[in-house]
Chain A
Amino acid sequence: MSEPILQFEHVSKSFFGAMALTDITLAVRPGMVLGLVGENGAGKSTLMNILGGVIASDEGQIRLEGRPYSTGSPAEATRAGIAFIHQELNLFSHLSILDNLFIDGFPRIGRTPLIHRREAVRRAKEALAAVNLSISPRTRVDRLTPGQKQLVEIAKALHGGAQIIIFDEPTTSLTSRETERLFALIERLRREGRTILYISHVLADVLRLADEIAVLRDGKVVRTGPKAEFDINAMIAAMVGRQVDQLHPIRRGKPADKVLMSVAGVTEPGIVKDISFDLHEGEILGLFGLMGSGRTELGRILFGLDPFRSGTIDMCGQPRRRRTARRSIAAGMAFVTEDRREEGLLMEAPVTENMALVALPNCRRNRVPGTLDRLALRRSVDEMIASLKIKCVSPRTAAVKSLSGGNQQKTVIGKWLLGRPMVCILDEPTRGIDVGARYEVYSIINDLADRGNGLLCISSELEELMGICDSLLVMSKGRICGRFRRDEFDKERILAAAFEGHLERGPRGSSGASN
């Protein structure tokens, strides 16, 4: 057995006091495929980001071919022969393949600043041939299929002389045929002696490709070993591990029988299919799914931000047809977006202005049409700031972007609560906020349910949903693949349902078109 090419030694990392990685020790030998699995938030991405030089570790070190390797920047990682094929591909879609391959250094004519065009084309053809992509290097990247783009990215990595290649969920947007092609390529790279780190939720794929498998949970390596020691159930068991602990407030209330929102047969081709469920008064309904399962898209459809082809969405027995965000709000809905920066907040505006936005039409002064009862508005905003315990020195003047993630999120929630909604859709309500603030957000959700609101919590973190929800819907590939009441909550079964669409893939034939 050869010496490990890559070693993590006691690597730790924390964000805002929350441990993301604890004492990670791993060794990878050259010419090996290491499968890395774990739930969302288990620390896979953090670990890879440290290796790729995107962020720095707090403790521990990484050795590359036995020598200590300090991760300074992505550029440094590239020079050290580490390439990162991201979930979101990092190509300039308006440029040609050629430009993308050489963006950080075109071949030149002698020492002049002129580009040696012919040489570049020759080398680009070589690089593309290495990944079995027979396409002109002058093709613009946005004309390529996702699979082809990925191959270009791999070609770029190989061209840069990468020895260690990290794949992060590489198959999410690929057809079966493209996936097959990718796997053949990975197989070849391995035979050439390159080292592959393969991260995926598709456990069957991991089982098929990897020589060794490492399971991460809560920032720790819980199990490693050769592939032979694992099967899919073993991996899930290792990923889920411990019991849900007291990260969540105790749920006292019980859902009533009255249906607030009733969804029946909602379908939008390619996005969601035949979604039906009821949301009751005082109910916290969780919606779980892997990335790309359609969970966020469903939330947007329900709130009226995106269209749907068929099906009905009733609010309090009223069918709702022509749907916009505005009408949804009038019908008593609220939508806490997963994307605070782009859709949730006016980043330059102070807290008060952000909070007032939804409730403005409720604060009309009757005497002069269209004018604002500023006193009433200010009073209710102040009350909301106090009741949500938003910490901000000057809520009237300081831009909301200067607040911490938790306070930003509470501002978004407060904004919606001022509109007095009946149904709240919360998409990733705790994304990017620390543990303490999480608990507060859970408490707010809990209180709302106790006051009779219906809440739909969309999340990619299963523990969170199991901690706060009365019942749970599991989505996979745009469908609901499982429904669980609180007393039926079982991590393994839920995860199995979430992976359902992915497991089905099984042995691949030429069924690419069916996706």
Chain B
Amino acid sequence: MNMGKLLLIVALLGAFGVVVGGVSCSRRGSGEDQLTICFGFQDLETEFWVAGHKAITETLRAKGIRVLERNANQDANRQLEQIRDAIAQEVNGIIIIPQDGESAVTIVGEANRAGIPIAVFNRPPSDRSNPALVIVADNEKIADEAVAYMAKVAREKGKGRKWKPLIVVGDLGDRNAVARRKGFFNVMERNPDLFETPIEVPSKWDPATTLANLEAALQANPDVDFLFTSSDFLYPQIKAVLEPLGKWKKIDEPGHVILGGLDGDSTAYTLMKEGYVDATGVQDLFFEANTIMEALLTAIEVGQKTPENWMEDPGFALTQENMAERADEMWGYRVLHDE
């Protein structure tokens, strides 16, 4: 009676082996001396990473380069293992979006030892002990600029009254989230007369968590009138919480909460255009992607094994003031208008 099932499973296993083998054969057939680049990244949680991933993979493939994609699911150890596997496959170059700065140092070290040029996208290694190509946005400065504009608006509007600020913080395991929070608090410290103690709402970079925590925070503090989100992708949740409380208002309407965020995605752009959001910090995604790819391809071409170059994306704050002239520098705007 068990024979049937046994045979079925053995057959299944066999079939699986054949399929796997076939797939790998067909892949191996497609050119041995083709340039291969490994692109290792974390979960593509937000529009920013999706757009970045798309920009990098499409550009590389358009140039006839084979791309090995590796998703580490937010696990630094797994990323290390994936990059080692890629090195064992003798790739020509590596681009990573690391989980954090420390693991970036270790992973860069692995690539250095194998003599494979490596580029780090957006999240920088925590020190420069191992040479790498790095592109990074100055998150603290960008956040600072955006919040500073929001503070300016608050001062003009408030006429001497104090504001109740709230920040939706990111996953504090992520250096960019830490920097953005810091930028926000820099502004708070510069304006002690303008702001009460800020309320911090953890988001863990997760929409459901954000929704729950924000709802609770606003239950407890219904008088919040100044809100900064560490990432633009959380706007739908913010709207969902503010709207029933009668706080989702356009800038000139009474009861408007001064709103700002960071990333510069298409939602943020739309909301600014409609007049809900006051300012958003923008990192120049396409600039970052192009710069890092160019640098890596050049290094491979000239045969550099451990190239080093730290490049910076200055970013900027897009505000209601400068929107007219600078909106087309925002990648969210371009994502929207390319399609």
Q: Do chains A and B touch in the complex (CB under 8 A)?
A: no
Residues of A within 8 A of B (CB): none
